[in-house]
Amino acid sequence: MSDHEKSHHEEEDALLADLMLSGKHARPSDKHELPGGIEGESMAKGTFVILLARIFGLGCIFLTMYVVLPRVMSEGQFGNFRILMSFVVAFETALHYGLPAAVSKFIAEDRAFLGYFLTRGFWLQIWFSLILFGISLLIAPIATVFYREDLTFGLLFVLAMIDIPAYAVYNIRMSVLNGLRRFTKESITVLWYEASRTVMTIGGVLWAASIGRPELMIPLALIANFLSSLVGLYWSVVYTRADTGYREEPGMIPAIVRFITPNIVAMFVYQALLVVDLWCVKGFITSRMQDTETAGKILGSYGLASSIAIVPSLLYHSLYPALFPTISHYLGLRDIARVRKIIYQATKAGFIVLLPISVAMCGTSQEIFFILVGQGYEFAWKYLGVLVFSMAAYTLYLSASIIIIASNHPEYPLKNVSCLLAGAFLLNWIFMKLLPFNLFGPADDPITRAMAGPVVAIVVGLIGTWFFARWILKRYKVFAKTQEVFRISVSCLIPAPVLWFLDVSGNLQRMNPLGLELSEHASSLVYLLTGVTVEYLLYFICYSIMLFLTGAFDSEEKAKILRLIRREKENRGRI
């Protein structure tokens, strides 16, 4: 390094140190108390109470989706209900990580924004929810034609989407509690929401079964989902109605829109990645299979397996409501070192939680389904062993992107994950619809092709991720620790030998729901080593990119601060 470069870096460090020591540009969030002089709860307490609420919610989902509905509904009905709810959850997840994420972030950084989001933010969320509701209405006829269903399916699709505005308004109030770090009240609201949804859904479905009207089961379950959002809205309003205060900066709404729009699109894409194979299986069996009974069994079994595979992810995401406002708070204080430490700790916790549960679920998949649904859904357990590891790896990737959402850079993972979704959907459809030869299994086996498609899509995604990483590194000149990236990437290989030994009984050979034979080599190598290992590798490479972007945020914010100091010195010089 030349003497000129050394002096330049020393000047930058001196300016930055002068800024931090003077406290002149410190964020007010570390000094501003909540209304009434009450500070927010700690992350440790918040994680504990929210974890309890999420475990209760997980129990409610378990009782509803894995015990009652599969036993009461036919396999075809349950499969269609799972399809409808997957669209609802995709839209609502986008809304949850859109404006509510901005609300939580801004309030966590500066409590003076509280009143603004209780007024303007509330109506802004309504507008966004109505826009997404309108988009869902356009999707309804497309989905009906795509899946070759009748008008009833289209009407049920619209009925399911009515929940979007109700859930959006409930969620914006919840995010206020989250930003204030009132985790106990947030947890109580979650308890009311989950309990009401469970009671109304189970009650409605059992009532329809008791009067011999099975066609009413899905409509009543969708109505119950809507009413539970109203219950959650009521309690969230009760816990935030006493809060006051108002602050509006010039250009606030455009800044919020720029912040939340990439988040909304990115989170819809994230959620769609979880169910793209389910959508493709539905499209395949309704267009290719004439036997509606067998098609319904396949859809219901695959839908139930993919639903249960998300269980470890739901456990881990209990950490998120406490994690996000804490990260936003320290980003507001420019404490990048603390943010990195939190992300590393959360990722380690993810390993501790997800890996043992995933291995246990894989090894006992047949017993799990026998306990839940008895003799029904005979094909479902055969898919769980592969799906559960895919969901676990995906969860770690999603959790790593929290820092990007909190740091106003959601467009980076958006570009990458959007290409991945497009590739996964396209290759799923190519494998199930267009390939004339049996590369990954029998031509009439939709599940084999549904699982083979993502494998190739992930390989393509790996290549795209590599070029994306090169672009990031070139643009921001960010260099991560080689050992850290290597350790994270190699750790993806841990589940592969574990699954290999779990499969000595040859269970993966019977993953074919139509009874067609698959060789041991094809089932073990393609489904197990290729599918699980490559998918893990993809998500951890994506996680490594998130670490790179953490450094990019640090460098960019440092540059902004230095420009601010220089501008101030220039202004003083003119005076």
> Once rounded to an integer, what is the mean pLDDT over residues 240-260?
60
The band of 459, judged by pLDDT with boundaries at 50, 70 and 90, is very low
Q: Are the C-beta atoms of residues 275 and 306 closer than 8 Å to each other?
A: yes
User: What percent of the chain is modeled with pLDDT above 70?
Assistant: 35
**Per-residue pLDDT tens digits for 369-399:** 777 776 666 666 666 665 666 666 566 555 5
Q: What is the DSSP letter of 524?
A: I
Distances (CA, A) of 375 to 70, 301, 366, 378: 11, 12, 11, 6
Question: Locate tokens 């509904």: which residue?
Answer: 73
**pLDDT of the residue at 146:** 73
Helix axes 217-240, 75-96, angle to 10 degrees: 30
Tell whether the model's pLDDT for residue 368 goes beyond 50.
yes
Burial of 475 (0-12, 13-18, 19+ CB in 10 A): exposed
- Out of 18-27, 131-140, 149-158, 323-332, least confident range: 18-27
Q: Are the C-beta atoms of residues 401 and 413 closer than 8 Å to each other?
A: yes
**pLDDT of the residue at 221:** 92
**pLDDT of the residue at 261:** 67
Q: Where are the domains of the chain?
A: 29-248
- Rg (C-alpha) for the chain, rounded Å, is 25
- Cα dihedral: 279, 281, 284, 285 (round 10): -120
Distance CA 515, CA 517 (A): 6
Mean predicted lDDT score pLDDT of the chain = 63
Burial of 132 (0-12, 13-18, 19+ CB in 10 A): buried
User: What percent of the chain is modeled with pLDDT above 90?
Assistant: 4
Tell whether the model's pLDDT for residue 60 goes beyond 90.
no
Distance CA 122, CA 92 (A): 16
The band of 201, judged by pLDDT with boundaries at 50, 70 and 90, is very high
> Once rounded to an integer, what is the mean pLDDT over residues 208-232?
90
Tell whether the model's pLDDT for residue 229 goes beyond 80.
yes
**Six-digit token pair at 94?**
């986008």
**Per-residue pLDDT tens digits for 78-124:** 888 888 888 888 888 777 766 666 666 666 666 666 666 666 667 77
The band of 488, judged by pLDDT with boundaries at 50, 70 and 90, is very low
Q: Are the C-beta atoms of residues 291 and 440 closer than 8 Å to each other?
A: no
Tell whether the model's pLDDT for residue 564 goes beyond 50.
yes
Distance CA 494, CA 497 (A): 7
Count CB-CB contacts under 10 A for residue 291.
11
Tell whether the model's pLDDT for residue 472 goes beyond 50.
no
Tell whether the model's pLDDT for residue 200 goes beyond 90.
yes
Distances (CA, A) of 415 to 422, 464, 469: 11, 10, 11
Tell whether the model's pLDDT for residue 235 goes beyond 80.
yes
Distance CA 19, CA 33 (A): 24
Q: Are the C-beta atoms of residues 354 and 312 closer than 8 Å to each other?
A: yes
**Closest by alpha carbon to 198, among 149, 245, 231, 236?**
231
